[in-house]
Structure 1
Amino acid sequence: MQKLIAFLTLLLLAVLCLGLVVINNEMLGDYRIDLTEDKVYSLSEGSQRVLNDIDEPIVLNFYFSDTASKGMTSLRNYANRVQSLLEEYESRANGKITLNVIDPEPFSEAEDRANQFGLTGATLGPVGDAIYFGLAGTNAVDSQFTINFFDPQKERFLEYDISKLIYQLSEPEPVQLTLLTDINLMGGQNPMSGQVTPAMTFYSQLGQLYEITTIGSDAAQIPENTDVLVVIHPQNLSESLQYSIDQFAMRQGRILLFVDPHYESDAMAMMGSLQANKSDFGLLESWGIDAGLDSVILDGRLGLDIRTPEGAVTRHPGIIGLTGEQLNREDVVTSNLELVNGSSFAPLKLAEGSNLTLTPLAYSSADAVIVDGAEYALTQDPQALQRMLDSSETQRITLAARFSGPATSAFTQAPATESASELNMAHVSRTTKLNLIVFSDADLLADRFWVQQANFFGETIYTPFANNGDAIINASENLAGSDALISIRGRGTYARPFEQVQALQVAAEARFREQEERLQNQLQQTEEQLAQLQNVQTESGALTLTPEQQAALDTFIAQRNEIRRELRDVRYQLERDIDQLGNYLKLLNIAISPLLLVTVLWGLARLLRRRAGKKTLEAIGS
């Protein structure tokens, strides 16, 4: 009888488990729990806001060469991660996103379509097949945006890249960017040399991405249709223009600001001047930001070498190069930058009592000192500047930062001027979320700090030697997205070190390396023979091959294809043990663990029944 009860109990538990699985798949598919450490399979609040703002249907075509990537375990695991995240987007979009998973096999229509989208077919592994691993999105008006290739090294920004693509598809209107500066960005005739100078390179690059309106300090207000405001070395701004900028910020407008304690790249402004050519932007202090525009940063470790008028080479501590160690790898603006050059940076920090949040984007080394800006402007000798480094007060200083959070307007009401009254908008005294990126140097925009231009048969060729332009584009692009996009930061990585897998991989590679090298040598010899045969045909000028040559060519091609097939099999064997281990783990998680749990629960239930029966017998006996 007890055996029958135990069997029925196990049968009931199995039916219950199966029923729960069916209910979960059919009714609870939209409800998930992400138990990973960094929630890498969940969407952030910012991504969900992007999905909520979708008006028209969007189609996402995920191209991954599943067949050609056979044996590439790491890449395939990352592809599964990307596909799972895309499925989460589709699930959370309430039917507004359709996801298509496509394997673009060689010479197929799918591969042609991937090429039409502009996706990158990367040649990975020894076989030489093109591997597609990208995303192409389209909307109802046939606009399309792509992620050419999902680079595993950029996994931390995977969610941001996908959300940005969806946002671009849902907001097809071009971004309106307003540039506020008195600096000559568009080039023209140089009044000092008389030569015609081209436009600044960063300005040309921005013009390829956005619709740009340029205004000067004499403007009364910024254009009403402005999406992103870029302010460069502001000086002498009218009260009405400052009010317009302030209200743009209070209405959560996005601002990219370049201020400078001593802008050295304006030769006309520097002629005959003995004072520091510093920016003037008093709104920062009102918003809760201390830009320190009366000070300049000297860095003994990051100073760049310059050539003196006498022809010698010396290090200039005021002209510094920020390497990857000084750039924030956790923020999308600076994560992929390696070098940013600039001159006479100012220190950035929060003002006392500020409620803003400061996220550093770039900072000095720990060997930096703060000196007076006016004294720096008067000191032309780099050796004298180096002597200023002899200080015990060295520190690490923020040079570029993102500011967000609550801020108060610099004005209590609109200025009583005719131009200000024409603004025709209600005064906003406070914002809950300031969107502002500040670089404390404007010289880094000048070409001489990051790019060389050359004329090649009438075409201007740009050769960058630093990432200044990338920093500007990244910051503009990030701000050009919605507030939701700006809030998305780099997420964690899903990969964790697995020592047992690494040991298996080392053993497998040792076992199959000799066979792989032999096949590689055969493939190389076959391709050399093919090349020789083609050279013979080219030298002879014959349009057709002799029967013997054609037979040899067919043999070589067939041999090459066979070697490539064997190479694919070898790569598969290299990873087979790892795949088997993965299958064992899946079996352990899916089948054995639940069975063990059921067995333990059944054992506990039986033990409790025995104890209850024993107590009953004892009670009857007493």
Structure 2
Amino acid sequence: MQHKFTSSVNLFLIVVVFFALVFVNNQLLSPLRLDLTENQVYSLSQGSKQVLKEIDEPINLYFFFSDKASKNMTSLRNYANRVESLLTEYETFAKGKLKLQVLDPQAFSEQEDQADQFGLTAANIGVAGEAIYMGLAATNALDEQEVIAFFDPQKEGFLEYEISKLIYQLSEPEPVNVTLITDLAIKGGQNPMTGQVDPAWTFLTQLEQLYKLEQLSSEAINVPDDTDVLLLVHPKEYTDALLFAIDQFALSGGKILAFLDAHNESDPIAMMAGTMPTGNSSNLQRLLSAWGVEFDSDNVLLDAMAGLDIRTQNGGVTRHFGFVGFTSDQLDREDLLTSNLEVINGASFGVFKKIADAETTWLPLIQSTQNSDLMNTETYAMTQDPEELAKAYQSENQSYVLAARLLGQANSAFEQVPEGAEQRSIITSTDKLNVILVGDTDLLADRFWVQQSSFFGQTIYTPFANNGDFITNAVENLGGSDALISIRSRGVFSRSFIRVDELTVIAEQKFRDQEQILQQQLDDTEQQLLELQNQQVEGGALVISPEQQLAIDEFMQEKVTIRKSLRDVRHQLDKDIESLGNWLKLINIALAPLILILFLALLRIIFKTKPRFASTIPKSKEDPVL
């Protein structure tokens, strides 16, 4: 009786301890996380945490995922779980400033109507063409809203950045202020070469639509205080006062996007003045040296592989080694600026080089191909014939950096305040430099990336390259907070099975030749069978002799045999993979638990204590008392 009572008490205590541990875990330990994945894909970066700390008003997140409609779509559902887990991590860290709702927008439901109102994308990839939603909508206290129309699994590396950017845009709704300093006629006007009125450059029109833009000339001596992004286009002959203002803007945490050029080909005023052969390169070297970078303004890049085809004066087509188009192979796929771009066109690029002892972090964005050469700027300007450029070209088997991002440590280019500067104090160094340098200004000109046409009085822009996207991405990225900029491409959740991939390649190599032989035999048999069946006498009647019928039957039987062999060969392609899968199932389902049980049994035997007897009742007088 006492033993039963003790067992009941022990069982009751175990239940109490269990519920106590569950309560402690839910109430006290829920914010704690242990992320053992290789790239910490379930954890937030410091940049995202900083964005969440700066939220002033609560933000509502609505994650729409068609859970029921995607029942048999395992890969998509796994990615949806990945997104939801990351959103939950955002909500947990925000400590009440984010409120997450997970909704299943089933057909003809209120949730589906809500997803449509937010403008989320319904992808018709479900069974029988059923719409699948997997997007995020967010609203703030001012009823402003931002959305991610659809979470593309192909862009998983930028998942955290997209979510953090959405939250940042709702927490900081103020528009980005862009200050543009240039002397180029980018606003359009009368062209001195043709006498016609040129429209404003398309990139400028796009920036004015997206941001608050203020344009200054090189006569300016300061940078406006409200500037978020400073855009420099073809800087040259800047005064010390303006250079000092730019220098101090960069050292005080300002973001700069600078387009330089070794030979600007889109300046009609310089062409009219006859300064094209020489004297039309950018000059920002005083600041670049302080930032740890050199810009080669004396040479122009020639790239045989990236050269663009242009039309010659006699109507032919030839490749121009100085007019280049860089594809995804030359763009940094890990940087947010260039990860989704396909083509960037430009002309007469100048190249950048990092100074050996510079402390600045150097991140190349665009690089030439290995089939590149450098030509003297003056020689290039005087060589009008592309074929002459091709003859002078000599590959150095070297790739050059044409655009780069600079981050981190930098010093001032000035030891004292120059004459004419408005600012009287001086910042000597910084560890928050944030500059993007591009070695060409011609890529901003319309002729290299966009066509304009008029449609019923409305201007239609048709881009054929991603130059405009590159500029917009750069300004958008720089216009965000430092925390947002620090969030780069993260690791991916889905991991490929390397061993399975190797087996697939081996299997294909092993059976592909046999498959081709059988396929050829099948084609020959069908051709011979067709020839026999097409034998006709005059008048169109089909006459088949017994010998021909026998041959037809044999060909039909051979055709069936070959098709069966072909199916067997194709089945063999997956046999090794299926075998590996069966072994993995056996190990995970049966062998691993069995090994664990045996291991625990062994531990029990090792640590089992022997029973100890304190006393016994003597059975007889001869029995000793212990």
TM-score by length of 1: 0.79
Query: What is the match of residue 171 of structure 1?
Result: 172
How many Å apart are 1:190 and its aligned residue?
2.6
Q: CA separation in 1, counterparts of 2:77 and 2:207?
A: 36
| C-alpha distance after superposition, 1:146-171 (max 9, x if no partner) | 11111111111000100111111111
Query: What is the match of residue 454 of structure 1?
Result: 453
8 Å contact from structure 1 (residues 180, 216) kept in 2: yes
Q: CA separation in 1, counterparts of 2:70 and 2:127?
A: 11
SS at match of 1:158: helix
Q: CA separation in 2, counterparts of 1:600 and 1:370?
A: 68
Counterpart among 359, 363, 367 of residue 359 in structure 1:
363
SS at match of 1:454: strand
Change (3 A) 1:594 1:210: farther
Query: What is the match of residue 183 of structure 1?
Result: 184
TM-score by length of 2: 0.78
| C-alpha distance after superposition, 1:257-299 (max 9, x if no partner) | 1000001011221232221510111211122111112221111
Counterpart among 315, 320, 338 of residue 316 in structure 1:
320
**Equivalent residue letter for 1:327:** L
Q: CA separation in 2, counterparts of 1:10 and 1:498?
A: 45
How many Å apart are 1:70 and its aligned residue?
2.1
Q: Which has the higher contact order (CA 8 A, sep 6+)?
A: 1
Q: CA separation in 1, counterparts of 2:208 and 2:101?
A: 34
Query: What is the match of residue 268 of structure 1?
Result: 269
8 Å contact from structure 2 (residues 53, 94) kept in 1: yes
How many Å apart are 1:193 and its aligned residue?
2.7
Q: CA separation in 2, counterparts of 1:447 and 1:13?
A: 75
Which piece of structure 1 moves more, 452-461 or 594-603?
Answer: 594-603
Q: CA separation in 2, counterparts of 1:13 and 1:436?
A: 61
- How many residues matched? 526
How many Å apart are 1:95 and its aligned residue?
1.3
8 Å contact from structure 2 (residues 191, 268) kept in 1: no
Structure 1 residue runs without a partner (length 5+): 503-577, 614-622
**Equivalent residue letter for 1:105:** Q
How many Å apart are 1:127 and its aligned residue?
1.6
Query: What is the match of residue 566 of structure 2?
Result: none
Q: CA separation in 2, counterparts of 1:480 and 1:36?
A: 32
Query: What is the match of residue 387 of structure 2?
Result: 383
Query: What is the match of residue 328 of structure 1?
Result: 332
Q: CA separation in 2, counterparts of 1:15 and 1:387?
A: 87
SS at match of 2:70: coil
> Are 1:337 and 2:338 counterparts?
no
8 Å contact from structure 1 (residues 276, 373) kept in 2: no
Q: CA separation in 1, counterparts of 2:248 and 2:485?
A: 20
How many Å apart are 1:177 and its aligned residue?
0.8
Query: What is the match of residue 485 of structure 1?
Result: 484
Q: CA separation in 2, counterparts of 1:341 and 1:500?
A: 40
Q: Please give the residue correspondences for 1:296-315 in structure 2 after superposition, counting only pairs within 5 Å.
A: 296-315=300-319
Query: What is the match of residue 85 of structure 2?
Result: 84
Query: What is the match of residue 430 of structure 1?
Result: 429
Change (3 A) 1:588 1:373: same
Q: CA separation in 1, counterparts of 2:331 and 2:169?
A: 27
How many Å apart are 1:20 and its aligned residue?
4.7
8 Å contact from structure 1 (residues 270, 277) kept in 2: no
Query: What is the match of residue 527 of structure 2?
Result: none
SS at match of 1:127: helix
8 Å contact from structure 1 (residues 316, 382) kept in 2: yes
| C-alpha distance after superposition, 1:454-504 (max 9, x if no partner) | 1111111111111111111111111111111111111111112359999xx
How many Å apart are 1:611 and its aligned residue?
9.3
SS at match of 1:348: strand
Change (3 A) 1:334 1:500: closer
Change (3 A) 1:22 1:383: same
Query: What is the match of residue 210 of structure 1?
Result: 211
**Equivalent residue letter for 1:406:** Q
Counterpart among 359, 368, 371 of residue 375 in structure 2:
371
Q: Please give the residue correspondences for 1:82-231 in structure 2 after superposition, counting only pairs within 5 Å.
A: 82-231=83-232
Query: What is the match of residue 464 of structure 1?
Result: 463
Q: CA separation in 2, counterparts of 1:16 and 1:56?
A: 40
Change (3 A) 1:153 1:345: same
Counterpart among 398, 408, 422 of residue 411 in structure 2:
408
Q: CA separation in 2, counterparts of 1:599 and 1:380?
A: 82
Which piece of structure 1 moves more, 482-491 or 281-290?
Answer: 281-290
How many Å apart are 1:19 and its aligned residue?
5.8
Q: CA separation in 2, counterparts of 1:330 and 1:296?
A: 27
Query: What is the match of residue 572 of structure 1?
Result: none
Query: What is the match of residue 58 of structure 1?
Result: 59
**Equivalent residue letter for 2:335:** D
Change (3 A) 1:66 1:384: same
How many Å apart are 1:24 and its aligned residue?
2.7
Query: What is the match of residue 288 of structure 2?
Result: 284
Change (3 A) 1:612 1:501: farther
| C-alpha distance after superposition, 1:75-113 (max 9, x if no partner) | 111111111000000111121111111112222222222
| C-alpha distance after superposition, 1:372-404 (max 9, x if no partner) | 22222222221221123224x320111111111
Q: CA separation in 2, counterparts of 1:122 and 1:388?
A: 53
Q: CA separation in 1, counterparts of 2:66 and 2:446?
A: 41
Query: What is the match of residue 603 of structure 1?
Result: 602
How many Å apart are 1:596 and its aligned residue?
6.9
Q: CA separation in 1, counterparts of 2:607 and 2:429?
A: 65
**Equivalent residue letter for 1:608:** F
SS at match of 1:229: strand
Structure 2 residue runs without a partner (length 5+): 502-577, 613-626
Q: CA separation in 1, counterparts of 2:192 and 2:430?
A: 44
Q: CA separation in 1, counterparts of 2:479 and 2:351?
A: 26
Please give the root-mean-square deviation of Cα atoms over the aligned residues, in Å: 3.2
Q: CA separation in 2, counterparts of 1:346 and 1:134?
A: 42
Q: CA separation in 2, counterparts of 1:354 and 1:28?
A: 45
8 Å contact from structure 1 (residues 275, 378) kept in 2: no
Query: What is the match of residue 619 of structure 1?
Result: none
**Equivalent residue letter for 1:168:** Q
| C-alpha distance after superposition, 1:417-460 (max 9, x if no partner) | 2xx23x36x42110102101111111000110011111111111
SS at match of 2:284: coil
**Equivalent residue letter for 2:124:** T
**Equivalent residue letter for 2:282:** S
Query: What is the match of residue 542 of structure 1?
Result: none
Identity of aligned residues (%): 54
Change (3 A) 1:430 1:95: same
8 Å contact from structure 2 (residues 176, 479) kept in 1: yes
How many Å apart are 1:188 and its aligned residue?
2.6
Q: CA separation in 2, counterparts of 1:270 and 1:403?
A: 33
8 Å contact from structure 1 (residues 326, 365) kept in 2: yes
**Equivalent residue letter for 1:148:** A
**Equivalent residue letter for 2:448:** F
8 Å contact from structure 2 (residues 373, 394) kept in 1: no
Q: Please give the residue correspondences for 1:12-31 in structure 2 after superposition, counting only pairs within 5 Å.
A: 20=21, 22-31=23-32
8 Å contact from structure 1 (residues 346, 441) kept in 2: yes
SS at match of 2:349: coil
Change (3 A) 1:6 1:384: farther
**Equivalent residue letter for 1:187:** G
Query: What is the match of residue 444 of structure 1?
Result: 443
| C-alpha distance after superposition, 1:233-258 (max 9, x if no partner) | 01121211111110110011111110
Kindly name which structure, 1 or 2, has the bigger radius of gyration based on alpha carbons. Answer: 2
How many Å apart are 1:367 and its aligned residue?
1.0
8 Å contact from structure 1 (residues 276, 377) kept in 2: no
